[in-house]
Amino acid sequence: MVFHSALRRFNRTTSFVLTSAFLCLTLQLVSTAQTAPVAKPKPAAAAAADRLWQNKALSPKQRADLLIKAMTLNEKILMMHGGGPCPEVWTEKCQMPIKGYVGQVPAIERLGIPHLTLADGRAGVGNKAVDVTLLPAPIVAASSWDVNLLNQFGHVLGKEEWDKGTNVTLSPTIDVVRVPEWGRIFESYGEDPYFNARMAVAEIRGIQAEGSIADANMYLTMQQESDRFHVDSVVDERTLQEIYLPPYAAAVQEGHVGTFMCAYVKTNGVYSCENAHLLQDLLRNQLKFDGWVMSDWGATHSTVDAANNGLDQQMPDADFFGAPLKKAVENGKVTMATIDGHVRNILVPMFHQGLFDRQQPGNWDSKVRTDAHTAFSRKVAEQGTILLKNKGTILPLAGNTSVAVIGEAGSTKPKAEGGGSSEVVAPYVISPFDGISKRTKGKVTSDNGADLDKAAAAARAADVAVVFVRTEETEGDDRPDLKLPNNQDALISAVAAANKKTIVVLDTGGPVLMPWIDQVAGVLEAWYSGQEDGNAIAAILYGDVNPGAKLPLTIPRTANKVPTASKEQWPGVGGHSQYTEKLNVGYRWYDATNTDPLFPFGFGLSYTTFKLSNLAVTPAKLTPGAAIAKVTVDVTNTGKRTGAEVVQVYVGHPTANGEPPHQLRAFAKIELKPGELKPVTLTLDQRSFSIFDTSVNRWTVKPGTYEIYAGVSSRNLPLKSQATVEKSGASK
């Protein structure tokens, strides 16, 4: 472990060194260029009448092809990397990076090609932008299991990015969570490929509807931060196809995402940004992606291999795709057709999103946050906070209860967001203490939890103790283990021993172990809930909002009973992470190995109760070409409050070829008044009855009897039915 944490620190340091190196290089190039412009003949500006690519009646591809015909090699190469450097640019009026954006491609005014302005933003506009909204982390939004909320999340984020002048939004992170210690879980959606696919499509559509191009990342097998610049994910093709590719497939086919960011890691020995299997076989040939792939910041490792194997654009600089790429074209190692292909991939989404056809109003200094976005930030936090335990219905609290708010995260240091490139400058953060104090008529005290005796005394003096605990999760670092750091387990036990009415609020980015679970009356997973943290948690604690969120990942019971428990799997040995759990990622592993999680995938309580009944699957007999089934379930609110339930449908495959016991294939969230019954209809598509058959290298519908389960978590599936497929056939 000592070795592992040293390694992680080293990686983090390397990351900063690399970033600073980019910066220095860019600055050097800026100054060289400004003092010694390169005198080159300047191609004439294209007259308006000659700009045939400006004809909006043509398709994006037709427009891109016309434009490529007018571009010089220098101009093409300019589009294929970030920032500069200036001396290569065709004009002496060197367009240097403008303020703010973390990645930029200068405009080519001669041809009317707009500047590309790239900004981070998983939970709001990043890169130190000010006057923006800090939304809850994407894991919070995903915990709502509400695709409409994810779509609005995309709209709010996309609108603020667009109004800041960003035309490429570096979001969302759609990778499947494999390792529970992964430092970027909070940026992503969860552990199920189907679930992540639904969330990705919804968010991408929202972002792109507001103007900018969305960039889904990080492609592919980016499942850990440990040794992230070099580690090799060793993964078999079926697992790649069935677990890690689906969110990307949906992002292309349904989300029409404009760009992907290739990851730092290697897949099966080859860096992502020069991996022909990932970039060509899968993205282009299989998924028919027609947008562009940019490298993650510093993830390009070569010129010729990267260009020939499918990387379209190096970010954020030009080390490989600037002068060396031009040279590679001149000496025939990269063909002009290859260059044209890359430039086309970049131009098509630009035309598609209308970047050539309209002026973008704002810039980095624009004030973009609004009251509506503040309200939305709060709504996401409310909708994404999961009620995990509620013994004796301790919650919701009565309005006059006296409350001791314990722990730094409850008062002086609210934990509203995770660390790394997704960081947002929050305009403010409402602490839980302030949120609760505003909401209640009861007495509210606070204690930072530093001294256990004092914390216990504060808890004893109040009707109810609410302990806020947190993890410090960040890009660049995995957590060393799943324990709450800094003695917080002991704090919870001390408080719980002093007051039976203890509620724990987890401000964590990923799952944590809960050795004190039997000692406390209530547990809420609030994650990193954004600027409205305290208002949202108060609304849940006092029942102004009835919790309806569900876990998008499993919470393990013990440290060693997790899917990636061996060192070979995580963080890897000798530079390789072995994906030996294969398809058994997340709940699939717990089910396949009969391991009890502490809280299963899909689980979450409400202040009301629900009952599911009358599961029907039609037709029950399917043919491969029409392997689509309708599933109906009746849902009744059997409690006394309006609330929302998530109906989850899982499919168990018949072939016993290593398939997990059951896999999520459909879900729907539904709100019901007390006593109300509503039928819910869901669709199982062809993929629900397919596996990736490596013997024919394609998705295939397999014959046999499929078990169809309906319920409210991966471990609570009271209803069961079947569908049969008579013979094998190709699947989409």
Active site residue 489: no
> 697 is written with which tokens?
């290298």
Of 420 and 604, nearer to ligand BGC (C-beta) is: 420
Binding mask 67-106 for ligand BGC (x = CB under 6 A): -----------------------------------x----
Q: How many residues does the chain have?
A: 732
Rounded least distance, CB 120 to ligand BGC, Å: 5
Question: Tokens 């792939």 — which residue?
Answer: 293
> 333 is written with which tokens?
């190692």
Of 160 and 382, nearer to ligand BGC (C-beta) is: 160
**In the window 206-225, what residues touch ligand BGC (CB under 6 A)?**
217-218
Rounded least distance, CB 421 to ligand BGC, Å: 4
Of 170 and 504, nearer to ligand BGC (C-beta) is: 170
Rounded least distance, CB 372 to ligand BGC, Å: 26
**In the window 218-257, what residues touch ligand BGC (CB under 6 A)?**
218
Size of the site for ligand BGC (CB under 6 A): 8
Of 248 and 297, nearer to ligand BGC (C-beta) is: 297
Strands 259-262 and 610-618 come out as: unpaired
Rounded least distance, CB 218 to ligand BGC, Å: 6
* 421 part of the interface to ligand BGC, by CB under 6 A: yes
Of 121 and 180, nearer to ligand BGC (C-beta) is: 121
Rounded least distance, CB 699 to ligand BGC, Å: 29
Rounded Cα distance between 254 and 259, Å, is 14
Of 298 and 530, nearer to ligand BGC (C-beta) is: 298
Rounded least distance, CB 82 to ligand BGC, Å: 10
**In the window 295-354, what residues touch ligand BGC (CB under 6 A)?**
296-297
Answer for the pair 466, 394: CB distance below 8 angstroms, yes or no: no
The DSSP annotation for 32-67 comes to HHHHS----PPPPPPPGGG-GGG-TTS-HHHHHHHH
The DSSP annotation for 575-622 comes to TEEE-TTTT--THHHHHHTTPPPSB-TT--B-SS-EEEEEEEEE-SEE
Rounded Cα distance between 340 and 71, Å, is 10
At CA 61, angle to CA 55 and CA 67, rounded to 5?
60
Rounded least distance, CB 176 to ligand BGC, Å: 16
Of 183 and 534, nearer to ligand BGC (C-beta) is: 183
Binding mask 667-706 for ligand BGC (x = CB under 6 A): ----------------------------------------
> 487 is written with which tokens?
């003695």
* 175 part of the interface to ligand BGC, by CB under 6 A: no
Rounded least distance, CB 253 to ligand BGC, Å: 23
Rounded least distance, CB 297 to ligand BGC, Å: 4
Q: Rounded to the nearest 5°, which phi and psi values hold at 9?
A: -60, -40
**In the window 101-130, what residues touch ligand BGC (CB under 6 A)?**
102, 120
Select which of 296, 319, 447, 477 is catalytic. 296
Rounded Cα distance between 505 and 495, Å, is 13
Of 183 and 652, nearer to ligand BGC (C-beta) is: 183
Beta-bridge partners for 630: 618, 683
Write the DSSP symbol of residue 477: B
Rounded Cα distance between 181 and 201, Å, is 26
Nearest alpha-carbon partner for 251 in 263, 259, 239, 241: 259
Q: How far is CA 649 from CA 250, 522, 724, in A?
A: 19, 28, 16
Of 53 and 297, nearer to ligand BGC (C-beta) is: 297
Among 170, 524, 592, 635, interactor with ligand BGC by CB under 6 A: 170
* 477 part of the interface to ligand BGC, by CB under 6 A: no
Beta-bridge partners for 255: none
Rg (CA), the chain: 26
Nearest alpha-carbon partner for 617 in 700, 543, 709, 523: 709
Residue 276 CB coordination number (10 Å): 14
Rounded Cα distance between 53 and 56, Å, is 8
Residue 513, CB-side half-sphere exposure with 13 Å CA sphere: 18
Of 9 and 567, nearer to ligand BGC (C-beta) is: 9
**In the window 568-597, what residues touch ligand BGC (CB under 6 A)?**
none
Residue 40, CB-side half-sphere exposure with 13 Å CA sphere: 17
Rounded Cα distance between 199 and 71, Å, is 38
Strands 621-622 and 719-725 come out as: parallel
Rounded least distance, CB 312 to ligand BGC, Å: 16
Nearest alpha-carbon partner for 101 in 86, 85, 121: 121
Residues of this chain that interact with ligand BGC (CB under 6 A) are 102, 120, 170, 217-218, 296-297, 421
By annotation, the residues acting in catalysis are: 296
